[in-house]
């Protein structure tokens, strides 16, 4: 092959190699500056900042998702500040669901729209609301007396804006469930962010003399809310519960009052017996 032919054939190859080299050199490193590691996003004005290593990057598109809340977020497009190599966009987080497992991804492109680099930031918290727990019942009963036997009963509450719930004995750190290995309530966390919320259900173990009040606590991974306390005590026909914190002592008070009535009855019985004994003694002396 002549030298002239080789030069003609090698020209396209050289151009391709130069383009590949230019692409390799221009490929920047995309890094989330904000949010940083384990950061919390809140409020109506939060700035996403992405550091890039080349001016060839025109902008970075940012999206986010949370598996626990089921939410996705199209954050927006962060424009590259020429000469600074930082892409910024300021947005509101108020409409996004609270959770502690948000993952954000950025796709950075050049002026032609070709992707230059991508980066992610995981385990980010979004925090704008607190969980709500309402309408709790135990086996369908609210502020009503219920005799609890040895079988499992159902503790049910309506939950909003939460990713997990647990039932506890009041005044102790012991979670309440049908066994010691599980105390987390069953419910679909992603459904709790709907306008009507969702139903969280836990199994209820028998109460004893040391633990008489139970409540449900729900969390979004950042904030927690507890339900009204319910008194639960196994006292045969005297077992019961109440639906308000003001009545937490109801079962014990009822038991105490009944005990007082028994005491009065026994005192009256003793008085009558003493009266009859004295009457018989007096009659014997007269004879």
Q: What is the pLDDT of residues 9-49, one digit of tens each?
A: 444 434 333 333 333 334 457 999 999 999 999 999 999 99
Instruction: Say how far apart CA 240 and CA 254 lie, in whole Å.
Output: 10
CATH (residue range 3-126): 2.60.40.10
Residue 139: per-residue pLDDT: 77
Residue 278: per-residue pLDDT: 74
Residue 282: per-residue pLDDT: 66
CB 75 within 8 A of CB 121: no
Residue 28: per-residue pLDDT: 53
Residue 108: per-residue pLDDT: 96
Residue 177: per-residue pLDDT: 52
Residue 266: per-residue pLDDT: 67
CB 64 within 8 A of CB 102: yes
Residue 13: per-residue pLDDT: 38
Residue 178: per-residue pLDDT: 45
Instruction: Say how far apart CA 145 and CA 240 lie, in whole Å.
Output: 4
Strand extents, DSSP E, the chain: 31-34, 40-41, 46-51, 59-66, 71-80, 86-91, 99-109, 115-126, 132-138, 153-160, 164-169, 198-204, 213-219, 224-226, 230-231
Low-confidence ranges of the chain (pLDDT < 70): 1-28, 82-83, 143-152, 171-183, 205-212, 232-266, 282-287
The kind and range of the H/E element at 14 are helix 3-26
Angle (nearest 5°) at CA 56 between 53 and 61 = 80
CB 275 within 8 A of CB 284: no
Residue 213: per-residue pLDDT: 75
Instruction: Say how far apart CA 162 and CA 173 lie, in whole Å.
Output: 21
* Topology (CATH) of 132-255: Immunoglobulin-like (2.60.40)
Listed by start position, the domains of the chain span 3-126, 132-255
**pLDDT, tens digit (0-9, with 9 covering 90-100), for 270-285:** 777 777 777 777 666 5
Residue 174: per-residue pLDDT: 62
Residue 137: per-residue pLDDT: 85
Residue 21: per-residue pLDDT: 32
- The pTM assigned to this predicted structure is 0.68
Instruction: Say how far apart CA 182 and CA 63 lie, in whole Å.
Output: 35
Residue 217: per-residue pLDDT: 92
Instruction: Say how far apart CA 244 and CA 230 lie, in whole Å.
Output: 7
CA atoms within 13 A on the CB side of 40: 10
Instruction: Say how far apart CA 184 and CA 180 lie, in whole Å.
Output: 11
């Amino acid at each position: 092959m002549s030298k002239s032919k080789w030069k003609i054939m090698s020209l396209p190859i050289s151009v391709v190699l130069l383009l590949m080299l230019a692409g390799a050199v221009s490929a920047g490193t995309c890094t989330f500056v904000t949010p940083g590691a384990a950061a919390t996003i809140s409020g109506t004005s939060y700035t996403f900042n992405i550091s890039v290593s080349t001016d060839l990057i025109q902008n970075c598109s940012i999206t986010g998702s949370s598996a626990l809340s089921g939410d996705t977020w199209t954050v927006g497009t962060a424009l590259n500040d020429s000469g600074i190599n930082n892409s910024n966009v300021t947005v509101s987080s108020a409409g996004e669901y609270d959770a502690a497992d948000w993952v954000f991804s950025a796709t950075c492109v050049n002026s032609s729209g070709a992707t230059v680099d991508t980066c992610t930031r995981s385990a980010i918290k979004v925090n704008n609301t607190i969980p709500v727990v309402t309408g709790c019942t135990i086996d369908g009963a609210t502020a009503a007396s219920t005799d609890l036997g040895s079988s499992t009963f159902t503790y049910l509450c309506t939950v909003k804006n939460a990713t997990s719930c647990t039932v506890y004995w009041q005044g102790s750190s012991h979670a309440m469930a049908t066994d010691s290995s599980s105390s987390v309530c069953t419910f679909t966390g992603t459904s709790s962010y709907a306008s009507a919320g969702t139903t969280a259900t836990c199994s209820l173990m028998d109460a004893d003399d040391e633990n008489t009040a139970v409540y449900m606590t729900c969390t979004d991974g950042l904030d927690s809310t507890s339900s009204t306390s319910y008194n639960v005590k196994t006292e045969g026909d005297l077992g019961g519960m109440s639906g308000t914190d003001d009545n937490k002592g109801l079962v014990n008070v009822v038991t105490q009052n009944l005990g007082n009535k028994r005491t009065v009855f026994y005192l009256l019985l003793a008085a009558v017996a003493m009266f009859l004994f004295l009457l018989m003694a007096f009659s014997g002396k007269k004879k």
